[in-house]
Chains A and B, each alone.
Chain A
Amino acid sequence: MPASLVQSDSLLAVDIGGVTTRAALFDVVEGEYRFLAAGSAPSTAEAPFKDVGEGVRNAITGLQAVTGRTLLDGNRALITPTQADGSGVDTFVSTVSAGPALKAVIVGLLSDVSLESARRLAETTYARILDSIALNDHRKSDQQIDALLRLRPDVVIITGGVDGGASRSIHKMLEPVGLAGYLLAPEKRPAVLFAGNQKLDGEVKEMLGNVTSALHFSPNVRPSLETEDLEPAARELAALYLGARKRQLKGVELLETWSGGHVLPTAYAEGRMMRFLGQVYGGRRGGILGVDIGASAAVIAAGFRERNTLGVYPQFGLGENLPALLQYTSLEEILRWSTLDISTGVLRDYLYQKSLYPAAIPATKEDAAIAQAVTRQALYLAVQTARRDFPRSARPPKAGLLPRFEPILAGGGALGDAPTPGQGLLMLLDAIQPVGATTIILDGNNLLPLLGAAAARNSILPVQVIESGAFQSLGSVISVVVSASYGALVLRARLIYENGTEARADVKYGGLEVLPLPAGQSARLSLQPQHGADVGFGPGRGGVVPVSGGALGVVIDGRGRPLTLPDDPGRRRELVKKWLWTVGG
């Protein structure tokens, strides 16, 4: 990288999560940008503070303690730019996910076309879809109005109509939104995003301009029946989300001032970074996948050559909404991942009690086993939900499985704080169930969204920070797609190190094998599938893949896809324990 591209600006990035606020400092070291250190503090969006600024200042204070660099002045205001004495920082950016999910209503013409686009659009931010209105809605207009008045959504997303297409039907869809807005008190009116037929922008403004808290327009998400382009609308929805957060949470405006307007929703910033990484890595060896699970939501971002997807699922967050997880899964399905014999009653109590104290962490082994089982199932559900929207061209090796991703990046408190790399890796393998060869990278400091936010201020910084090894590689993983009986040989693997030495493993169905390969080293892995197993070259086909080292080295997952666990609880727990021991406990 030419030195002239480096602006020599330091950058402070802060992410305000539902539970924790993190501050990360980046600066130039030996001519290149590096991640220097991070500080964290409890988020303060909730009572008694009701001001996210307090948590931000506390996280920066923690960062000051780590780095010895003064960033806040005597009034706890950010010092910008960097001063002659080395205090302060040149640039500030921030991301936000704290606060309750926005209540959203989606409106479209056809339920399987524009309404689906509206649903996908709503899922690019921290929103819960409470209702949908489409042409084939069986309700009368007055019932739709009453539903809107009862739900009092924070946001209404309206899609429908191809550009230049019919307008009469859209008018009909706008009526209940406009009348409900008219009947609501001004401070209770929803923000509206219109992402439909662009020809109607003027009429929409006329109909809804005075009866919404904010009216946003974006290019049509469905310019034609065959085309869907969510990105411009997702950008507008991110702006709308921040507008809502500014109204709801004190302190967000201060961050806007400090950052010169560079505040983004955390998931959107992460999606932006995944888009960038998708362009760099995607298509060369498959798509690229980012997963993040925290108190507010599970976020699944995927980058493919032709398109990117971003799914934000508050329903799978591990915080205050945890009991609602049972609307999507059962206690038994969660407990299948547990290494300990835990009753459904204990698990149910855990989900409810944890919702009271989202910031609390497991202190005992039993609590940790429950927490990890819940994380696995919530992330599994999020990945399965996101899978619906992957492009058709991203073909999985078998129906019902994921397409191939390389690499997979993982972040979020539940994964980043795992006691050992092996526990983190096993949670990811169980929940994501990748196929073929991939590298699993842990973003332990949750830098990805911060880099996504930083990219708008400094496009070189994210590239250099990622290349500097700020993330931890957990290892290279080969996931075998095969159906066989337990114990049957499904793969012969030979790892050829750079110095010519070799390590071998015979992988049996239902087992995991670990071949050591330290971080920073590379090797070649020769694979000879048995029983028609698919390791990425097609059923029964072998080959050689280059692999890089990581905390666990090379992990070969011979448990099959989809991963099925024994029905017998005792045998299942023993097996899960065995897998855990294999990856280091």
Chain B
Amino acid sequence: MTLAPVHHILALTTIVRERTLPVKGKVLVRLNQKVGPTDIVAEATWARDHVFLDVSRTLNLTPEAADRFIRCKVGDKLAAGALIARGRGLFPKAVRTPREGRVVASGGGQVLIESGESRMELRAGISGNVVQVIPDRGVVIQTAGALVQGVWGNGRVDTGVMANFAEQPDTVLTANRFDVSMRGLVLIAGQVRDAETLQAAADVPVRGLILASLFPSLLPVAREVKYPIVLTDGFGSLPMNSAAYRLLTTNAKREATLNAEAFDRYSGARPEVIIPLPVSSDPGQPQDVETFAPGQTVLMQRPPAAALTGTITALHPGLSTFPSGLRAAGADVKLENGEQMLVPLVNLQVVG
């Protein structure tokens, strides 16, 4: 019995996602509220930087003595140039804050001021109902629809109507295919092979790109563009796996949400494409883990059939030897083209 990781590519399922801030903040939505993917559900603010003033050292006083000269207290809001402390004598030294800010600590002859404000806005990432509010942290949102998990995302979120530009699972999208009619669309394609195409998509602008794969050399550009990019299969020249290709292309012209959040193997966060669908009753939630068994549809992760899907026809007992010379547990997999091959179990994910 070997545990099998599951890669979700589902035509209809219940999707439940937790969205939380990394720091304490304010939740902006309430229980049972309907939210859209780009709605801000929580926000947090923190100081952009700090000013540390060592009054004791500047005035050449003991910390205890310096404390007596400090004229501000924790919580005080100060303007730039405000006096913090002034020494004694004919020509007393003064300590002033160089920037406006708020005093966050004072003592031991020192003052710490926070200055400026950084703000973090947490977006819903999916459209749905808020089914739980996590105080000061975020929410849990539930929706129903089609789900295609990806393997890489550039950290952006957006929604748009999907348009299919992938005549084949490995169709290369090029800059010369762009025109104004693509504005606001989410494009489905096999690959993008140059930075010009990514830039052309930004110029239109599109609402997102769903690609099978991308060259690693394009990742810096992909991270910079303002629209979401979700890779369904990985890096290099991989075609889109047929399960994702079928589901996405048959849903072309429907609205889809691209939550291109970074893949985090510890939290389980993954980039994903969600196509909301109307349902009369909630479909079940998908399994995250199964055990390998004949009949399962599987997605292969490594050559010679990377990004191809097939069906397990038999699990081999014990260890099998592969062309690489390595020995590992394996399964016979029948590819969609009818070809049969022996694949290490650790190179498989169950599609479901």
Residues of chain A whose beta carbon lies under 8 Å from any beta carbon of chain B? 41-42, 45-50, 58, 99-100, 140-143, 145-146, 149, 175-176, 179, 182-183, 185, 188, 248, 320, 323, 345-346, 348-349, 351-353, 356-357, 359-368, 417, 419-420, 423
Contacts and interface: CB of A to CB of B under 8 A. Distances in A.
A47 B265 contact: yes
Contact of A357 (B289, B301, B326, B343): B301
Which among B23, B215, B266, B328 has the highest number of chain A CB atoms within 10 Å?
A: B266
Given A50-B266, A146-B49, A356-B234, A182 B325 contact: no
Given A48-B288, A357-B301, A419 B324 contact: yes
State the 6 A-B residue pairs at the shortest beta-carbon distance, nearest first: A419-B325, A47-B268, A349-B236, A48-B288, A368-B324, A142-B52
Interface in B192-232: 215-217
Nearest to B6: A48
A143 to B, nearest CB: 8
Contacts of B50: 142, 145-146, 149, 179, 183
Interface residues of B, number: 47
Contacts of A417: 326-327
A361 B303 contact: no
B347 A183 contact: no
B344 A361 contact: yes
Given A47-B265, A49-B289, A357-B301, A363 B52 contact: no
Given A146-B49, A348-B216, A362 B151 contact: no
Contact of B344 (A42, A100, A363): A363
Contacts of A349: 215-216, 235-237
Given A368-B325, A419-B325, A323 B216 contact: yes
Nearest to A141: B52
B326 A368 contact: yes
B52 A140 contact: yes
A141 B58 CA distance: 14
B152 interface: yes
Given A353-B302, A361-B344, 18 more contacts: A47-B264, A47-B266, A142-B52, A146-B49, A183-B104, A185-B24, A349-B237, A351-B216, A353-B236, A356-B234, A357-B347, A359-B346, A362-B326, A363-B304, A363-B347, A367-B324, A368-B326, A419-B324
Contacts of B237: 349
A357 B3 contact: no
Nearest to B330: A363
B263 interface: yes
A215 to B, nearest CB: 19
Nearest to A65: B1
Which among A45, A142, A419, A423 has the highest number of chain B CB atoms within 10 Å?
A: A142
Nearest to B342: A363
Contacts of B217: 348
B323 A363 contact: yes
A99 B264 CA distance: 12
B303 A366 contact: yes
15 contacts: A42-B3, A141-B54, A175-B110, A185-B24, A345-B236, A349-B237, A351-B216, A352-B236, A353-B235, A360-B302, A360-B347, A361-B328, A362-B322, A365-B324, A367-B303
A365 B323 contact: yes
Contacts of A320: 265
A188 B23 contact: yes
A368 B322 CA distance: 10
A533 to B, nearest CB: 34
B173 to A, nearest CB: 18
Contact of B324 (A45, A47, A185, A363): A363
B3 to A, nearest CB: 6
